[in-house]
Amino acid sequence: AQTVTQSQPEMSVQEAETVTLSCTYDTSESNYYLFWYKQPPSRQMILVIRQEAYKQQNATENRFSVNFQKAAKSFSLKISDSQLGDTAMYFCAFTPPRGSNYKLTFGKGTLLTVNP
Partner 1 sequence: EAEVAQSPRYKITEKSQAVAFWCDPISGHATLYWYRQILGQGPELLVQFQDESVVDDSQLPKDRFSAERLKGVDSTLKIQPAELGDSAMYLCASSLRLAGITDTQYFGPGTRLTVL
Binding site for partner 1 (CB under 8 A): 4, 33, 37, 43-47, 50, 91, 93, 95, 98, 101-104, 106-109
Q: Are 78 and 89 in contact (CB under 8 A)?
A: no
Q: What is the number of alpha carbons within 13 Å of residue 108 lying toward its C-beta?
A: 6
As measured in angstroms, the least distance from the Cβ of 101 to partner 1 is 5
As measured in angstroms, the least distance from the Cβ of 80 to partner 1 is 23
Nearer to partner 1, 50 or 63 (CB): 50
Phi, psi of 72 (to 5 degrees): -85, -5
Q: Are 8 and 20 in contact (CB under 8 A)?
A: no
CA gap 61, 55 in Å, rounded: 16
Nearer to partner 1, 17 or 40 (CB): 40
Nearer to partner 1, 108 or 115 (CB): 108
As measured in angstroms, the least distance from the Cβ of 114 to partner 1 is 20
